[in-house]
Structure 1
Amino acid sequence: MFSATRTAARTAAQAANRRNVSTIRETLKEIIPERQALLKQIKSEHGSKTLGNVTVEQVVGGGRGIKFMLWDPSVLDAEEGIRFWGRSIPECQRDLPTAPGGQEILPEAMFWYLLTGKVPTAEQTKQFQEELVSRSELPAHVEKVLDSLPKTLHPMTQFVIGVAALNHDSQFAARYKSGMKKAEYWEPALEDSLDCVAKSFTIAARIYLHSYKDGAANMAPVDKSKDLSANFATQIGFGDSEGFVELIRLYNSLHTDHEGGNVSAHTTHLVGSALSDPFLSYSAALGGLAGPLHGLANQEVLRFILGMQKELGDSPSDEQIVQYIWKTLNSGQVIPGYGHAVLRKPDPRFAALREFGNKHPETANDPVFRMVDSLFKVAPGVLTEHGKTKNPFPNVDAASGSLLYHYGLTQFPYYTVTFGTSRAIGALSQYVWDRALGLPIERPKSLSMEAILKLVK
């Protein structure tokens, strides 16, 4: 009797505590009016001002550097790297909550932060994590669709199909069809985005088992006491490795957002501007992420490293690595993982992954990761001397693949799927803000070559 009374009292106390913790919806309802007012002020007071001139080179060069998107959660600076709502990656690592006993940022905490610009408390993170995990189970029709696909179909194609199939249950699409005020768009957009992020981890796990194992028939059920990364690791068979779980937490936190101009982020924004729901918008983005010039770079880095290891052995000298780099450059090839479209300094995401690799003995002593570390010490100097690389420093892809490879995730075509679970967090955070701010459909002006010649003459 006493035990039952005590249990009831504890349950009541926990419920009371939860009532005192602001949910993601309550937090956004406080913040959104302030941001709406700021946008209104900017449009009213500064709408006619210019932000720079567009050159012909920018028009024919993919729009590189043209300032024409509103993207709040992150800003990429060429010299100092990415900042999330003003915080650098080291500051996020310092300030954002980790899993109990863990050292790396929880992606759930990063998701809250990208949505709100506010650092969540440990209790808010726990509550948000539990909500996301509770949303991570897949509808039966999505499981059937994924399991029916050819095992040889590229994992990213499977990912596109799985996320698009979630559209069946879109709250945004249903409410828009029934008639919804524009001021309310952000609410079902948030619900769909939470579902999309949570379920993308489970879709990714199911794709792995379908493509590389014996199928998903014996896939571990979602454990609601664990975070998304730990559940993902367990479901693909790596849950016993705490190092791998921590790497997935860090990997998913670092790859979330890299401002709005990259292909996957921009695609989410573009498709969403037509008021396509988050599932359709992000499935389109995954198609862009699958491209060799966007999400496949870490595979190319790892192939390069393994090729160098095969030729030079496990412990080459710096001089041997320098010679190998020159041989590669002189053959007309590039050094994958070095250079970035915007950055002109070492990528802070690379620094975070390199730090992870060096502080864990099992990865620090891995020959492949040691080669990544050695390459970092000598490659910038060679590339600077070579003179054809605008940024001779490593980007995030220079380290990420080697760490996944170390822990046994050796299926290269799958690497971009892990990128896809992460990028959903950043791209869909902005999707929610696009709807909250009432941003219009995106429709830039295009020009023919004849029109360009007419203008410049």
Structure 2
Amino acid sequence: MATTSGHITSQPVRTIFEAIEARLPSRLELFSRLAKQYSDVTLHNMTVGQVLGGMRGLPCVLWEVSGTEKAGIRYHGKSLKELLEILPRWRGSEQISPEAMIWYLYTGTVPTRTELEVFAADLARRAEPPVEVEEFCDSLSPDIASATQLMMCLSVWGNHSKFSAALVQGAPRAELWRHALEDALDSHSCTSVISARIYANKYRDGRDRTTPLNPQGDIAENFAIRMGRAGDHDFTELIRMYWSLHMDHGANVSAHTMRLSSSAWTDPYLTLASGLIAGTGILHAGAISQALRYNQAMAAALGPEPSAQAVEAYICRTLEKGLVVPGYGHALLRDVDPRLEPITRFINSRPVPASASGEQGHMLRLIGRNSTIVPEILRRRVPRMKSTAPNVDSLSGCLMYAHGLEIDFILLVMGCSRGMGFMTQYVWDRALGLAIERPLSITMDQIMAKM
């Protein structure tokens, strides 16, 4: 309800379909104007270095839901700090609601409290994967890596794609986004549920994998329920925070992989699998596990509260071996990652979890200190680094590990979030009718011929 001049007026409650539909005409008009009036305007002069350097910095991928700048990500023009202030929280939560972030990425608007609750209820209604996928998941050996299991389950899930069914039935191109959205909404909640099932099978002998979900709960709460963490408020808050903070990050490796494969109208589930594959690399999401293992080794060698001199000596030994120090610097950001502030606040506002071992508690204290010590060491020792500020990898893995997540499973938590974010882009790609990606390849001999 809203008040105007002392009178109570009712606000219409939009479904996610209606909210996207309301935004679509203006975005199609802008897309058409850019294509017709400015298609020949030079946007960027490409250099040989950019071709050889993996196309870094080339503004050549249209991204509807966010843009990445040196200071951080802007979501529909707003910074993360702004979103932390305006997006609603779930009942009893201090964190941005992941559902609110999903809604915002789709629509560019802040959901009302009623819209948030109706949207969350719709996702909860969709939260049971197809029986075929569940049975396939339960048949997998626990020796198979968690990420690999999810890739395999997503591949089976593709048999149930509503988008693919619409293509077979000859759905009009202008309506494809609706079928893509149906799949996307299913995936938002079901991917986390099947991930929790993988966890239950792999680490809990299947316990709680069929525990009834809370139809009035959010996706983070239901994820915790199926992991056997029902009622663990801090763990649920941790998941809400990470899913909101990592939901979209523009055209990085996993997101661009999904964008490339989906541009051929690949179904959403195989698209998600392709992004998860890309995320396993240590130069991308795999860096979280790499940073965690590095911090484990440092804590074991130095203890939880080493002197600054001991930390510097350890860092120098790493650099002398020709290795990087995981968790510092960023390919695009040139300042402290904005996502670190809410993560640091989460750590400082809560004691080390009672379930954490001595090692896990030691690591949390160590990385808290190192976030202020290591950047200065790197500035002096590696002057060529464009940024020595800690990145989100420096804390993410350690914090999730301290809350009881096995290293093998951490990538799935991140993958759930990144998949949610990209599916909003997937739907808009279909709504705008974007073309298949067809970059031109060129050989070094051809480059020399142009010099």
TM-score between both structures, scaled by the size of structure 1: 0.92
Which residue among 426, 433, 439 is the counterpart of 1:431? 426
Q: Counterpart amino acid of 1:275?
A: W
Q: Counterpart amino acid of 2:450?
A: L
Which residue among 257, 265, 273 is the counterpart of 1:283? 273
Q: How far apart in 2 are the matches of 1:217 and 1:132?
A: 20
Q: Counterpart amino acid of 1:376?
A: S
1:321 matched to which residue of 2?
311
Equivalent residues of 2:208, 2:225 under 8 A apart: no
Which residue among 68, 71, 81 is the counterpart of 2:60? 68
Identity %: 40
Q: Counterpart amino acid of 1:208?
A: Y
Q: What's the offset of the Cα at 1:388?
A: 3.6
Question: Equivalences for 1:131-150 in 2 at 5 Å?
Answer: 131-150=122-141
2:80 matched to which residue of 1?
89
Question: Equivalences for 1:178-193 in 2 at 5 Å?
Answer: 178-193=169-184
Secondary structure at the aligned position of 1:185 is classed as helix
2:28 matched to which residue of 1?
36
1:400-420 Cα offsets, whole Å, 9 max, x none, are 1111111111x1111100011
Equivalent residues of 1:268, 1:428 under 8 A apart: no
Q: What's the offset of the Cα at 1:136?
A: 1.1
Q: What's the offset of the Cα at 1:92?
A: 1.2
- Greater Cα shift, 207-216 or 97-106: 207-216
Q: Counterpart amino acid of 2:387?
A: N
1:389 matched to which residue of 2?
385
2:330 matched to which residue of 1?
340
1:195-250 Cα offsets, whole Å, 9 max, x none, are 11111011110111122220257532222121111111121122232111101000
Question: Equivalences for 1:280-429 in 2 at 5 Å?
Answer: 280-362=270-352, 366-386=361-381, 387-409=383-405, 411-429=406-424
Q: Counterpart amino acid of 1:206?
A: R
1:3 matched to which residue of 2?
none
Secondary structure at the aligned position of 1:38 is classed as helix
Q: Counterpart amino acid of 1:393?
A: A
**Cα distance change, pair 281–217 in 1 and its aligned pair in 2 (3 A):** same
Q: Counterpart amino acid of 1:263?
A: V
Q: Counterpart amino acid of 1:407?
A: H
1:9 matched to which residue of 2?
none
Equivalent residues of 1:137, 1:222 under 8 A apart: no
Q: What's the offset of the Cα at 1:390?
A: 2.1
Q: What's the offset of the Cα at 1:141?
A: 0.4
Question: Which structure dedicates a bigger proportion of its chain to helix?
Answer: 1
- Greater Cα shift, 383-392 or 179-188: 383-392
Q: How far apart in 2 are the matches of 1:47 and 1:379?
A: 46
Q: How far apart in 1 are the matches of 2:58 and 2:284?
A: 19
Unaligned runs of 5+ in 1: 1-16
Which residue among 425, 439, 448 is the counterpart of 1:444? 439
Q: Counterpart amino acid of 2:369?
A: S
Equivalent residues of 2:151, 2:276 under 8 A apart: yes
Q: What's the offset of the Cα at 1:351?
A: 2.1
- Greater Cα shift, 320-329 or 48-57: 320-329
Equivalent residues of 1:363, 1:403 under 8 A apart: no
Equivalent residues of 2:291, 2:326 under 8 A apart: yes
Q: What's the offset of the Cα at 1:266?
A: 0.8
Unaligned runs of 5+ in 2: 1-8, 355-359
Q: How far apart in 1 are the matches of 2:156 and 2:238?
A: 29
Equivalent residues of 2:276, 2:415 under 8 A apart: yes
Q: How far apart in 1 are the matches of 2:209 and 2:443?
A: 55
Q: What's the offset of the Cα at 1:322?
A: 2.2
2:448 matched to which residue of 1?
453
2:263 matched to which residue of 1?
273
Q: Counterpart amino acid of 1:259?
A: G
Q: RMSD of aligned C-alpha atoms?
A: 1.8
Q: Counterpart amino acid of 1:398?
A: S
Question: Equivalences for 1:79-228 in 2 at 5 Å?
Answer: 80-215=71-206, 219-228=210-219
Q: How far apart in 2 are the matches of 1:317 and 1:414?
A: 32
Q: What's the offset of the Cα at 1:19?
A: 9.8
Q: What's the offset of the Cα at 1:18?
A: 11
Q: How far apart in 1 are the matches of 2:206 and 2:290?
A: 27
Which residue among 254, 260, 270 is the counterpart of 1:264? 254
Q: What's the offset of the Cα at 1:327?
A: 2.2
Q: How far apart in 1 are the matches of 2:376 and 2:244?
A: 30
Secondary structure at the aligned position of 2:352 is classed as helix
Secondary structure at the aligned position of 1:82 is classed as strand
2:5 matched to which residue of 1?
none
Q: How far apart in 2 are the matches of 1:101 and 1:153?
A: 37
Q: How far apart in 2 are the matches of 1:126 and 1:369?
A: 35
2:6 matched to which residue of 1?
none
Which residue among 19, 31, 37 is the counterpart of 1:27? 19
Which residue among 220, 225, 238 is the counterpart of 1:229? 220
TM-score between both structures, scaled by the size of structure 2: 0.93
1:51 matched to which residue of 2?
43
Equivalent residues of 1:347, 1:395 under 8 A apart: yes
Secondary structure at the aligned position of 2:68 is classed as strand
Which residue among 220, 231, 236 is the counterpart of 1:240? 231
Secondary structure at the aligned position of 2:73 is classed as strand
Q: What's the offset of the Cα at 1:126?
A: 0.7
Q: Counterpart amino acid of 2:437?
A: E
Report the count of equivalent residues.
437
Equivalent residues of 1:318, 1:374 under 8 A apart: no
Q: How far apart in 2 are the matches of 1:240 and 1:366?
A: 22
**Cα distance change, pair 291–257 in 1 and its aligned pair in 2 (3 A):** same
Q: How far apart in 2 are the matches of 1:404 and 1:18?
A: 42
Equivalent residues of 1:112, 1:119 under 8 A apart: yes
